[in-house]
């Protein structure tokens, strides 16, 4: 039995620069800067008051009418995933249960593997309940909470915040009854999800899988935690559009954001047989970690180099075959320098010449979602034979000498590597290969 190959046949993107693939791609090429002052809530006394926010986003229109009631129990992360899944299926031409017509995919052969982050409870909703349980001393009163306080939370409260609900709602909407998982590995959740989903297809547990990741850290807890880590830019509040500058000489920190990207992957034979538009083949995958990752105060890019090397090895190619590098690039100086060093470990001096891209300047750090958006745009870039611009890049910071450009570049692309790392030390890399019609 020959080994199956995996095609990417649908892309769904929900990002601060655009909702939907075409809108996002055009905005990216045009150099749109979507990091702005936070208006989802008053950023008040937070040192960093800027973020990559979705514009005019509503999940409702991406959810079939008979399921719209359920949007009430979806945290923002879940809404993003559900919208991205809808867009991705639509883009793939595969009809699922959601369309109401006869599905063109066997539900038992349709998998769903959507990565997620730590979803934050709505503090105002929780505060409303908690403040009914304050004792005479002004402190939280457990007895009061147990007796009456908890009834102020809606019965399904917990379900809004379970990370597997990104996948679960998607399986219900699209009737996906094949393998379903939820990888929670921070910023590399999407890479790891895509890698694992390819195994579903290769081991014939599924023929089609919707995979990637989504997240929103656009809430006070997100700002607090990233602030405590010292990763956020606190000097760009007056000029948010240009605040996030991955690998740039003036990089001064990251900004949180919200969004996600999902891709439809499919057995290559199936995709070819139905005449699907194939954006790319997933030609290789690698993952690795850095045991030093528990020291979260030390800026690190994990073990990105080993992940990328494994991805190249799994595809049977060498570093010299790679035509474009899709970086993680948070814009946090220590991390950018550590990441560039990891790329040099793989490519040596060539790391300075292979065309490279970072999209965080335009959208901020989407955590689990960033990998999803990155993978979808890498596939689109391959199909279009364009190296997208690195927004807010002018000249490399010391130690970050890689080939970024603020303008899009038309060039011949055969292999693209897209990789990431996360706080904690895990890293993942996906190698995409051009599929010519």
Partner 1 sequence: MSERRVVITGMGTINPLGHNVQDTWKALLAGKLAPSKNELFDASTFPTTFAAQVKGFDLSEHLSPASAQKHTHAGRHCKFALAAAQQAWEQSHLGDWAQLDRGRLGVYLGSGEGSLDFDKFVSLLIDAWEDGQVDTKKWPDLAFERMELYREIEQESNMVVAHLAGEFGACGPAYNVLTACAASTQAIGEAAMQVRHGLVDTVITGGAHSMVHPFGVTGFNRLTALSTRNDDAASASRPFDLTRDGFVIGEGASVLILEEYEHAKARGAEILAEIVGYGASADAFRITDQDPDGDGAATSMRAALADADIQPGQVDYISAHGTGTKQNDQVETRAMKAVFGQDASKAPPVSSAKSMLGHLIAAAGATELITCVLALRDQTLPPTANLHTPDPDCDLDYVPNEARQANVKICMSNSFGFGGQNNTIIITN
Interface with partner 1 in residues 143-202 (CB under 8 A): 143-147, 150, 153-159, 162-165, 167-169, 171-172, 174-186, 192, 196, 199, 202
Q: Does 371 bind partner 1 (CB under 8 A)?
A: no
Helix pair 165-174, 76-92: axis angle to 10 deg: 40
- What is residue 3's DSSP assignment? P
Q: How far is the CB of 26 from partner 1 (least distance, A)?
A: 34
Q: Does 278 bind partner 1 (CB under 8 A)?
A: no
Helix pair 304-315, 333-347: axis angle to 10 deg: 30
Taking CB under 8 A as the criterion, the residue among 140, 298, 394, 406 binding partner 1 is 140
Using the rule CB under 8 A, give the single segment among 273-281, 284-292, 383-391, 402-410 that binds partner 1: 284-292
Q: How far is the CB of 402 from partner 1 (least distance, A)?
A: 24
- Return the exposure string of 327-362: e unless at least 16 CB atoms fall within 10 Å of the residue's CB, then b: bbbbbbbbbbbbbbebbbbbbeeebbebbbbbbbbb
Q: Which two tokens stand for residue 254?
A: 């990251």
Number of amino acids touching partner 1 (CB under 8 A): 95
Task: State the binding string over 225-264 for partner 1 (x if CB under 8 A, else -).
Answer: x-xxx-----------------------------------
Q: Is 371 exposed, middle or buried (0-12, 13-18, 19+ CB in 10 A)?
A: buried
Taking CB under 8 A as the criterion, the residue among 30, 224, 395, 406 binding partner 1 is 224
Taking CB under 8 A as the criterion, the residue among 4, 29, 43, 99 binding partner 1 is 43
Q: How far is the CB of 430 from partner 1 (least distance, A)?
A: 13
Q: Does 44 bind partner 1 (CB under 8 A)?
A: yes
Q: How far is the CB of 30 from partner 1 (least distance, A)?
A: 33
Using the rule CB under 8 A, give the single segment among 123-131, 273-281, 384-392, 411-419 that binds partner 1: 123-131
Using the rule CB under 8 A, give the single segment among 274-282, 289-297, 317-325, 391-399 that binds partner 1: 289-297
Q: What distance in Å separates the CA atoms of residue 227 and residue 88, rounded to the nearest whole number? A: 33
Taking CB under 8 A as the criterion, the residue among 212, 259, 293, 389 binding partner 1 is 293
Q: What distance in Å separates the CA atoms of residue 49 and residue 31, rounded to the nearest whole number? A: 22
Q: What distance in Å separates the CA atoms of residue 197 and residue 262, rounded to the nearest whole number? A: 12
Q: Does 292 bind partner 1 (CB under 8 A)?
A: yes
Using the rule CB under 8 A, give the single segment among 38-46, 82-90, 260-268, 377-385 that binds partner 1: 38-46
Q: Does 29 bind partner 1 (CB under 8 A)?
A: no
Q: Does 62 bind partner 1 (CB under 8 A)?
A: no
Q: What distance in Å separates the CA atoms of residue 148 and residue 393, rounded to the nearest whole number? A: 54
Of 20 and 425, the one with the shorter C-beta distance to partner 1 is 425
- The owner of tokens 């995409």 is 432
Q: Is 66 exposed, middle or buried (0-12, 13-18, 19+ CB in 10 A)?
A: exposed
Beta carbons of 433 and 315 less than 8 angstroms apart: yes
Of 205 and 405, the one with the shorter C-beta distance to partner 1 is 205
Q: Is 207 exposed, middle or buried (0-12, 13-18, 19+ CB in 10 A)?
A: buried
Using the rule CB under 8 A, give the single segment among 120-128, 246-254, 325-333, 396-404 that binds partner 1: 120-128
Q: What distance in Å separates the CA atoms of residue 248 and residue 236, rounded to the nearest whole number? A: 14
Residues contacting residue 238 through CB under 8 Å, at least 6 positions apart = none
What end-to-end distance do the CA atoms of the chain give, in Å? 25
- The owner of tokens 């740039």 is 248
Parallel, antiparallel, or unpaired: how do β-strands 426-433 and 280-289 relate? antiparallel
Taking CB under 8 A as the criterion, the residue among 11, 287, 354, 375 binding partner 1 is 287
Taking CB under 8 A as the criterion, the residue among 130, 337, 341, 352 binding partner 1 is 130
Using the rule CB under 8 A, give the single segment among 10-18, 21-29, 135-143, 338-346 that binds partner 1: 135-143
Task: State the binding string over 87-116 for partner 1 (x if CB under 8 A, else -).
Answer: --------------------xx---x---x
Q: How far is the CB of 201 from partner 1 (least distance, A)?
A: 12
Q: Collapse the DSSP code of 75 into the 3-class scheme (helix H, G, I; strand E, B; otherwise coil) and give the result.
A: coil
Residues contacting residue 244 through CB under 8 Å, at least 6 positions apart = 35, 233, 236, 253, 254, 255, 331, 360, 361, 364, 365, 392
Q: Which of 356, 366, 283 is nearest to 318 (CA)?
A: 283
* Long-range Cβ pairs for the range 60-63 (8 Å, 24+): 62/86, 62/87, 63/173
Beta carbons of 296 and 423 less than 8 angstroms apart: yes
Of 310 and 332, the one with the shorter C-beta distance to partner 1 is 310
Q: Does 407 bind partner 1 (CB under 8 A)?
A: no
Site for partner 1 in 325-364 (CB under 8 A): none
Of 61 and 147, the one with the shorter C-beta distance to partner 1 is 147
Q: How far is the CB of 180 from partner 1 (least distance, A)?
A: 4
């Amino acid at each position: 039995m020959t080994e199956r190959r995996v095609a990417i046949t649908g892309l769904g993107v929900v990002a601060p620069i655009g909702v939907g693939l075409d809108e996002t791609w055009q905005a990216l090429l045009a150099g749109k800067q979507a990091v702005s002052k936070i208006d989802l809530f008053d950023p008040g006394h937070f040192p960093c008051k800027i973020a990559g926010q979705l514009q005019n986003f509503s999940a409702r229109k991406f959810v079939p009418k008979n399921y719209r009631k359920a949007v009430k129990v979806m945290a923002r992360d879940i809404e993003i995933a559900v919208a991205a899944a809808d867009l991705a299926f639509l883009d793939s031409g595969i009809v699922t249960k959601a369309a109401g017509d006869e599905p063109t995919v066997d539900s038992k052969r349709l998998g769903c593997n959507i990565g997620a982050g730590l979803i934050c409870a709505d503090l105002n909703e929780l505060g409303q309940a908690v403040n009914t349980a304050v004792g005479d001393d002004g402190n939280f009163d457990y007895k009061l909470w147990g007796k009456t306080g908890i009834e102020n939370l809606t019965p399904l409260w917990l379900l809004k915040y379970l990370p597997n609900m990104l996948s679960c709602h998607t399986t219900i909407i699209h009737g996906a009854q094949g393998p379903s998982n939820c990888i929670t590995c921070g910023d590399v959740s999407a890479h790891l999800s895509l890698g694992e989903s390819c195994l579903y297809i290769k081991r014939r547990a599924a023929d089609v899988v919707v995979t990637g990741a989504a997240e929103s850290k656009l809430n006070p807890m997100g700002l607090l935690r990233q602030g405590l880590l010292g990763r956020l830019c606190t000097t760009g509040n007056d000029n948010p559009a240009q605040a996030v500058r991955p690998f740039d000489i003036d990089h001064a920190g990251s900004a949180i954001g919200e969004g996600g990207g999902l891709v439809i992957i499919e057995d290559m034979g199936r995709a070819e047989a139905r005449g699907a538009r194939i954006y790319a083949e997933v030609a290789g995958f690698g993952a690795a970690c850095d045991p030093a990752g528990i020291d979260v105060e030390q800026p690190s890019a994990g073990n990105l180099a080993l992940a990328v090397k494994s991805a190249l090895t799994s595809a049977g190619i060498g570093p010299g075959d790679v035509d474009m590098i899709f970086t993680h690039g948070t814009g946090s100086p220590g991390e950018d320098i550590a990441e560039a060093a990891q790329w040099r470990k793989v490519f040596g001096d060539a790391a300075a010449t292979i065309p490279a891209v970072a999209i965080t300047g335009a959208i901020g750090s989407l955590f689990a979602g960033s990998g999803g958006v990155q993978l979808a745009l890498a596939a689109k870039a391959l199909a279009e034979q364009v190296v997208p611009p690195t927004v807010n890049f002018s000249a490399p910071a010391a130690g970050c000498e890689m080939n970024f450009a603020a303008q899009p570049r038309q060039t011949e692309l055969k292999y693209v590597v897209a990789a990431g790392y996360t706080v904690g030390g895990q890293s993942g890399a996906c190698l995409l290969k051009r599929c010519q019609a």
